[in-house]
Structure 1
Amino acid sequence: MVKDENVKIDMVGKNIELTAAIKQYIEEKIGRVYRYFDPILGVKVVVEKERQAREPVFDVEVTLDANGRLIRAEVEDPDLYAAIDKAADKLESNIKRFKEKLFDSRQGGKVEKTTTLNVGSLLGEEKVEEPLIERRKRFVVLPMSEEEAVLQMESLGHTFFVFMDPDTGNPKIVYKRKKRGYGVIEVLTE
């Protein structure tokens, strides 16, 4: 598939200047994902050079928006170009895994569902000091099945995912349980 000229790869450098050569390398490596989805609404690449490390360490994070389905890969490496290569490979692997699971679920395959919630483990017994919020994100909550939400969560590498129940219109949260399986929290509105 040929890259859609309307879609660009947004690149952000943190503690590093992204030179023309680095940008071109990112476009070559990350641009391979265009053959997997149509349409791709956007690709964002964040390259960060860790400041605290004795040796330079580069963190490369790639987020792909494939028509509202987000797929993410993040890797660290002391070599910038190796980090970009690994991120591209990991993103392709995540895309393939996502598409296989999506295909399996549409063909009648099962994704394990867990609908119980252990509230005691979420609340805990310890007193916690005021949390420090380091990052805020905004995103559109899409209607999807619980199985699709699990696939989205796994493809992003997160431990939870917020989505909209297509039948009730209520927000739900799917999360990865500590021991195994998944849980679902349904938010009820009055």
Structure 2
Amino acid sequence: MQVTVTTRHIDDPQKVENLKKYVLKKLKKLERYIESKGSFSETKIVLGVEKFRNTAEIIINSGTFKAMSSSESEDMHTAIDRAIDGIIKQLKKQTEKRIKTKRKKQKEEIAAKGSETTDSTHVEESDDVIVERVTAKPMSVEEAILQLRVSDANFLTFRNSETGEINVLYKRKGNKMGLISP
């Protein structure tokens, strides 16, 4: 991690050193968020003083993400704390977004694998067992009922569009229907 601390209009070298130590100590808060993102190239911190206004600006730049936050206060430590809180908020948001998209992709892959496994289930064919391969098309229960009524089949295998699970709809005696769901 490359950290660059720049100060503007702060003449006391002892104060500059104390602020740098404080900033580096506070940057340790960011390590757990940054480690999950991967290594990053640089962090720039600009601390400035203008009369009664203290400003802190933090920029984290990487190939995968960029975060920037600035804050003003009468106290430099408060300005630094607020700027770091802003960076943490941005990093949390980016992390949650990445996790959400990853989970969505995993759900889609599981759904795709689920339909593949039902389509390609292998059973040895014998005199007692007749193997019939069916595809589980996504549809609602109402659509499945309509489709089974117009077909000559005794059952219909489909993927419930509301739940994403494989269901079997079958004809019963007396023009009634039965639904099997996991």
TM-score calculated relative to the size of structure 2: 0.49
Tell me which protein shows more helix as a share of its residues: 2
- Which is richer in strand? 2
Which is greater in Rg? Answer: 2
The two structures have a TM-score, normalised by structure 1, of 0.47
Larger RCO, structures 1/2 (Cα 8 Å, 6+ apart): 1
